[in-house]
Structure 1
Amino acid sequence: MLLSQIKTGGVAVRDHATASARLISGATILGFAQEAIALGKPLAAVIPAGGEPVNVADLAARGALDVPLRHPEPARMFLTGTGLTHTGSASTRDAMHAPAEGLSDSMKMFRMGLEGGKPAAGEVGVQPEWFYKGTGVNAIAPGAPLVSPAFALDGGEEPEIAGYYVIGPDGTPFRVGFSLANEFSDHVTERINYLFLAHSKLRPAAFGPELLVGDLPRDIRGTSRILRDGKVLWEKPFLSGEANMSHTIANLEHHHFKYGLFCQPGDVHVHMFGTATLSFADQIKPEAGDVFEISAPDFGLALANPLAVAEGAAGAVKVSAL
């Protein structure tokens, strides 16, 4: 089942076998998730039958689709992620930071994941690299611009899968589903020094357009491309799913939700699981107006967002004293 959130209200419901969807008017995916938690039922069981037919592709083309899950209070929605989680993901990072002799810290962490990132069920594996992006303010809808701040040295795509979670009344995290994500980053800044990784995580990230309900497929095969003036500038396949990862989803979830801070009842979390494919590795420098497009058949429609660059000088921020 695939769900799409309409910006003006309503949820489009469809399955992979059909191009058409049915619209549940006035509903939100968050509302369905909260109802499922309260009733102790699967998400699919609380979605009502019926609804008028709609074409999700047309809705996307009109810019009518939102991030699949939003909290009405943006400060209670957390965007986070993990890196060095995919087989092959260490090569680009290692090339950025490899020392003259021995292994880079990135490669050491990647090997830790290979050796201990897939523990037996119920056991705890090695913890991954973890990063914070921001709050719901930074969650960018499909089709909307990803804005690179004036101080950034680069604004590049990172094609990823994101998991969506709602925290129940007793602090239990409930996974709602998965979608495509573009974890927008400044790889030039990251290359200067790996300790700049946090600064390189440009706060915006794009999600959607459709939410996959159910388990994450083990072998996800998608395509990441950049379009310039309507033509393909760069294109490369990307792989995800546990068959292509050095960690299990359960292990990544454990190391995020082991912190009580992230288990506050009613909060929403969107967690990105990493990637192994970057145009930056092929010396591509995106420009304002370029369109990032990420697609994978398991997730329905492609996620497409144009790149924009904030205007203004990258001067010092002035803080006023009280």
Structure 2
Amino acid sequence: MTALFECSYGDERYFGFAPPTDRAGLRLYPGSGDELAAPILESGGDIDALTAGREPVDVPAGDRDKVRTRVPLFPDHVGDALVSGFMKTHNVKVDAATPDQPNWFFKGLGEVLKLPGEPLSVPGEAVAVCEEAEVVLVYVGDAEDGRPRYVGYTFGNDVTDIGRFKRHNGHLSYAKLCDSAISPALHLGPPPSLVTGETVIERGGALVWKGPFTTGTSALHYDLDTMMATLFAHESLHWPGRVHYVYMGADRSSFHGGHAMADGDRVTLDFRSHGIQLTNPLVRMPEPRPAA
């Protein structure tokens, strides 16, 4: 399956194939973001079609530190990226109160997406924070009617103030207003059936919690096509060129394992089945000042 990444090199934007490593040189092709979505959809992810007519640039291994990966398909204007997701989609979370369609939530615009290594901020007044290892579906609004079209998938960490939600289940929207990690690798194919991996949380360089996770379409209680069709039937989400990053829901987290995350915790999600690893520090923001 083709995996595409985007990056900045010098003053230009490029894309390449397969997740880059620090030890290898890169072959890059000009173009990314707004300009790249349509060719991906038209080509069906075919590498020859995507690179046709683009003059490649070879980056030697010694210049890898000059290459900066980017959020996949991130638009030129941050407001054209909408980050959202679904809650309690997995079989392990099903109970008598499970609705016919899972709850959908809004996390923010594009600025809430953070790449590996970048800090994940949470509100200073958060009650209890947890990580959530998830598949992230990427859609782009059709150039003519704005209806979101599926492009591919990546992986992410949907950081959540689960304590606030547990205290009041009507506060899901507040609980989700935290940053999210996202992998720079965009996989150009259908969402994966099975994803397995491990969460590792460190504090001050020492391991404080670790545990396995399972996700993918086979872990869902719901039919994914029905979930997405129901969501995108709403015309308020139709806009040409708008990029949707939709977090698909998670297995159990460190919260369910009894761990209480703290400021500075280093969270690693190792999606071992797909060779993707996300490591980010957690940062609590200062408490807001009281209104005058």
**Same fold (TM > 0.5):** yes
Q: Find out whether 1:290 has 2:291 as its counterpart.
A: no
State, as a whole percentage, how many aligned pairs show the same letter: 23
| Matched residue, 2:124 | 150
Change (3 A) 1:255 1:203: farther
| Matched residue, 1:266 | 241
Post-superposition offset of 1:51: 4.6
| Matched residue, 2:230 | 255
Q: Find out whether 1:2 has 2:3 as its counterpart.
A: yes
Which amino acid counterpart does residue 3 of structure 2 have in structure 1?
L
Q: Please give the alpha-carbon distance, in whole angstroms, between the structure 2 residues aligned to 1:27 and 1:78.
A: 21
Which amino acid counterpart does residue 58 of structure 2 have in structure 1?
E
From 210, 235, 244, the equivalent of 2:185 is: 210
Deviations 1:172-203 (A, max 9, x none): 32212111111111111111111111111133
Gaps of 5+ in 1: 91-106, 113-125
| Matched residue, 2:44 | 42
Q: Please give the alpha-carbon distance, in whole angstroms, between the structure 1 residues aligned to 2:273 and 2:150.
A: 18
Comparing 160-169 with 24-33, greater Cα deviation is found at 24-33
Runs of 4+ more than 6 Å apart: none
| Matched residue, 1:31 | 35
Instruction: Report if aligned partners of 1:85, 1:275 keep a CA contact under 8 Å in 2.
Output: yes
Q: Please give the alpha-carbon distance, in whole angstroms, between the structure 2 residues aligned to 1:109 and 1:130.
A: 16
Q: Please give the alpha-carbon distance, in whole angstroms, between the structure 2 residues aligned to 1:209 and 1:301.
A: 10
Q: Please give the alpha-carbon distance, in whole angstroms, between the structure 1 residues aligned to 2:60 and 2:184.
A: 15
Corresponding pairs, count: 279
Q: Please give the alpha-carbon distance, in whole angstroms, between the structure 2 residues aligned to 1:179 and 1:243.
A: 17
Instruction: Report if aligned partners of 1:12, 1:54 keep a CA contact under 8 Å in 2.
Output: no
Change (3 A) 1:178 1:233: same
1:281-320 residue pairs with structure 2 within 5 A? Answer: 281-311=256-286, 313-317=287-291
Please give the root-mean-square deviation of Cα atoms over the aligned residues, in Å.
2.5
Q: Please give the alpha-carbon distance, in whole angstroms, between the structure 2 residues aligned to 1:131 and 1:240.
A: 19
Change (3 A) 1:196 1:244: same
Q: Find out whether 1:201 has 2:176 as its counterpart.
A: yes
Q: Please give the alpha-carbon distance, in whole angstroms, between the structure 1 residues aligned to 2:222 and 2:24.
A: 35
Instruction: Report if aligned partners of 1:180, 1:299 keep a CA contact under 8 Å in 2.
Output: no
| Matched residue, 1:137 | 111
Change (3 A) 1:290 1:82: same
Which amino acid counterpart does residue 130 of structure 2 have in structure 1?
G
Change (3 A) 1:53 1:300: farther
Q: Please give the alpha-carbon distance, in whole angstroms, between the structure 2 residues aligned to 1:7 and 1:142.
A: 16
| Matched residue, 2:58 | 52
Instruction: Report if aligned partners of 1:2, 1:210 keep a CA contact under 8 Å in 2.
Output: yes
Gaps of 5+ in 2: none
Q: Find out whether 1:187 has 2:153 as its counterpart.
A: no
Which amino acid counterpart does residue 251 of structure 1 have in structure 2?
T
Q: Please give the alpha-carbon distance, in whole angstroms, between the structure 2 residues aligned to 1:142 and 1:41.
A: 29
Q: Find out whether 1:89 has 2:93 as its counterpart.
A: yes
Change (3 A) 1:80 1:266: same
| Matched residue, 2:96 | 108
Change (3 A) 1:51 1:189: same
Instruction: Report if aligned partners of 2:194, 2:217 keep a CA contact under 8 Å in 1.
Output: yes
| Matched residue, 2:140 | 166
Q: Secondary structure at the match of 1:226?
A: strand
Q: Please give the alpha-carbon distance, in whole angstroms, between the structure 2 residues aligned to 1:252 and 1:137.
A: 25
Deviations 1:69-112 (A, max 9, x none): 3111111211110111111124xxxxxxxxxxxxxxxx3343x4
Deviations 1:114-156 (A, max 9, x none): xxxxxxxxxxxx4221111111121122211001222222332
Which amino acid counterpart does residue 51 of structure 2 have in structure 1?
P
Post-superposition offset of 1:53: 5.8
Q: Please give the alpha-carbon distance, in whole angstroms, between the structure 2 residues aligned to 1:7 and 1:149.
A: 30
Q: Please give the alpha-carbon distance, in whole angstroms, between the structure 2 residues aligned to 1:54 and 1:248.
A: 45
- Would you tell me which structure has more helix in proportion to its own residues? 1
Instruction: Report if aligned partners of 1:209, 1:302 keep a CA contact under 8 Å in 2.
Output: no
Comparing 188-197 with 21-30, greater Cα deviation is found at 21-30
Change (3 A) 1:222 1:317: farther
